[in-house]
Structure 1
């Protein structure tokens, strides 16, 4: 198989060499040279030189030809280095680099699928709780407690929003639309969306943002990440009548949005890991509701939008999230 491939590759070269020799002999013939024996000798010598050259070339490339004419059983077989010529050494290097790129893309895809599957499994497990509560409420003979039903529906809605945003994150660039948005309007809308959560936990928002303060961002994604920050601030404020302070300041070309709560705070051992996927930490185990994806998604979105995201916290005193817009 390798020999046949070698012949096919060099048949044009052999024909070309024969044509060159015949052309030279024709020139000699037209110039008056008529010695047939010399012509035959020249043809034989040329043929021997061509065959010797091709034979030597075939011997050097035999291992390479054998490699490319046999289908590999493993990837290691395909990545063996058998080339001798500069051209084929470069070809092997090209395919090795192509394989490295392919492996990287496969690993990224596998990691993404694994993350999606793990998140979906955790989310389904989390959604069993509000569904079970709703079933219990419907089974009670007493009048339906609409407030309790609404709380569970809100939990399901927040969970659905997170799943939807997690799915859209894979095609973030296609879904992103940067524009000038009024920061106070976005924050106010986010607080209003979660007003029942504030009322249920008896935590009160306090906002200090100028009406005319404008930042460059995507309003939909910004609303989502602010929702994560605010709901976390409320959920981890266990004492009643506490406050969540939302303030914004502009320094030169930067706008800093600060969300500070008076909750339980984050342990130092968890602080550097709270933005990792599926990391629930000590606080997540206390509530039993955390999927470990909220701050991870928020961090990923902030990076894609070009917003700087910082977390400061002290156990027992609360947590401060600083979002910087450039």
Structure 2
């Protein structure tokens, strides 16, 4: 039966080992897949996060284009060189990518221009003055053109394209419908390579007058002021905002045609077009694979930690199952040994009683001596059976709190003396001495106290060599507590077994308890002491002896 049970436990342990091996393989595979997922995710981020870098980098340009340019219209065409200089100074300071601004002070009239203007019917738009502003512009070159003056420098070619665009819009204008702000902005703005030209936007009523001026000579011969600013942009002055510094090692602006031939497989590259006036340029991204690996691992470690936590939980569950199986296995073995020893304990007196009974039965006549002998044998063996059953019953009752303390006054010296007399009759070769100090009587249950003394004395006698069957008992009062010590000179208890000796059915494997030990003696003592609201402890040295210390409450 035991071998079958052991085989079952071995199978369970094999299943646990197999389970741990399986989850370990799954864990390693999960780590591999998690790393590949992290790598793929970061590579995808390398592609998708470029748009965020572009968006953040061109935010100043968008602010300039959508918010600052329309401010020109607030002047209603009445910008002069001073106000234009002040306006452009704020732009040059706020937007470093604006390198130069050309201001065209123009006017629209119902009279044709002979020079430096564009005419369509009786509609004419021409330049009065042209100024240039910028950090690199020399002070002598600020004014490029004035009425009745020659052109001093380049830049006048920017006037014609946007002016023709404006005239084309006026020519097609539907005077019955107010144009949208989007239509106005797109037709009064011209975006070219590294340049933006912008005319201030007049009111709808003025636009209708402009349209009439194309085909009609108005009596009032009106003259309107128009301001045009041409902004020269430098894409290399755009401040790149690297929103993913752990992903992009280097970002720079390159021409759209840039295609390096010396890029090796050790680098990951990407690009995205700037757009607008910078459409001939792109953001060029480069990162070494070792650099990107850091980001991959920063993404991978939290996943690995979760997988490790899950794996740890599974291993812990497997360990707890293993531990419970191991405990159950030990408990089964203890119970099996208990039943075996208990059977032996019962079988020996029963066999003796049966033999004595058979002898009495088969004898034709018994002498007085034989009658006394068989009577003594039957009486002793019956006492053994009764004592064993009483111990089992008492242990069960105490463990289940099924009995109550029957307290009485105990004179400690008389109690010990009576116990010693009983030991002398039972164990003639047992030397027992005692010492009492600090008190004479105390209140306790004398029956339970007697069981405690008997078990510890029997234990001392049983586990002592033939020539060292000695026990010294001390009873002292220490700080209102009764302290009892039972010190023998027996074989001692190994330190590895100290924590187990008070467990039920537990037996230390040695030659002194091969037979006749149930494994309840010290467990019974511990239950007794706990039931009496006390404490029990032990210290022992192998081959030197053992001392049990019992502390009980003092009631008097």
Aligned to 1:205: 432
State whether residues 460 and 469 of structure 2, in contact with CA within 8 Å, keep that contact through their aligned partners in structure 1: no
- Superposed, 1:227-246 pairs within 5 Å as 227-240=454-467, 242-246=469-473
2-structure distance, mates of 1:246, 1:189: 13
In the TM superposition, what whole-angstrom CA distance separates every residue of 1:58-114 from its partner, at most 9, and x where no partner exists?
A: xxxxxxxxxxxxxxxxxxxxxxxxxxxxxxxxxxxxxxxxxxxxxxxxxxxxxxxxx
Native 8 Å contact 1:177 1:218 kept in 2: yes
Between 171-180 and 252-261, the greater mean CA deviation after superposition: 171-180
Is contact 2:439–2:477 with CA below 8 Å preserved after alignment?
no
Partner residue, 1:318: 545
In the aligned structure 1, how far is the partner of 2:463 from the partner of 2:377? Answer: 20
Structure 2: how far apart are the matches of 1:262 and 1:154?
29
Q: Distance in 1 between matches of 2:447 and 2:400?
A: 14
Contiguous gaps of at least 5 residues in structure 2: 1-333, 364-368
TM-score between both structures, scaled by the size of structure 1: 0.55
Structure 1 residues 269, 132: closer, same or farther in 2, change over 3 A? farther
Q: Distance in 2 between matches of 1:191 and 1:147?
A: 23
2:525 counterpart residue number? 298
Aligned to 1:31: none
Q: Who is 2:420 aligned against?
A: 191
Q: How does 1:1-326 map to 2 (within 5 A)?
A: 122-136=341-355, 144=373, 152-153=381-382, 155-170=384-399, 172=401, 174-199=403-428, 202-210=429-437, 212-240=439-467, 242-283=469-510, 286-326=513-553
1:229 offset after TM fit, Å? 0.6
Cα offset for 1:269? 2.1
* The structure with more radius of gyration: 2
Change (3 A) 1:280 1:146: farther
| CA spacing shift, 1:151–1:121, aligned 2, 3 Å | same
Gaps of 5+ in 1: 1-114
| Residue 279 of structure 1: how far off its partner (Å) | 0.2
Aligned 8 A contact 1:151 1:196 in 2: no
Structure 1 position 234, deviation (Å)? 1.1
Q: 1:162 Cα shift?
A: 0.7
Give the Cα–Cα distance (whole angstroms) in 2 for the partners of residues 197 and 211 of structure 1: 30
SS at match of 1:207: strand
- 1:321 Cα deviation from its structure 2 partner: 1.0
The DSSP-based 3-state class of the residue aligned with 2:466 is coil
Give the direction of change, closer, same or farther, for the CA distance of 1:190–1:176 in structure 2 (3 Å limit): same
Contact 1:191 1:230 in 2 (8 A): no
Report the number of matched residues.
210
What is the CA–CA distance in structure 1 between the aligned matches of 2:374 and 2:438, rounded to whole Å?
A: 39
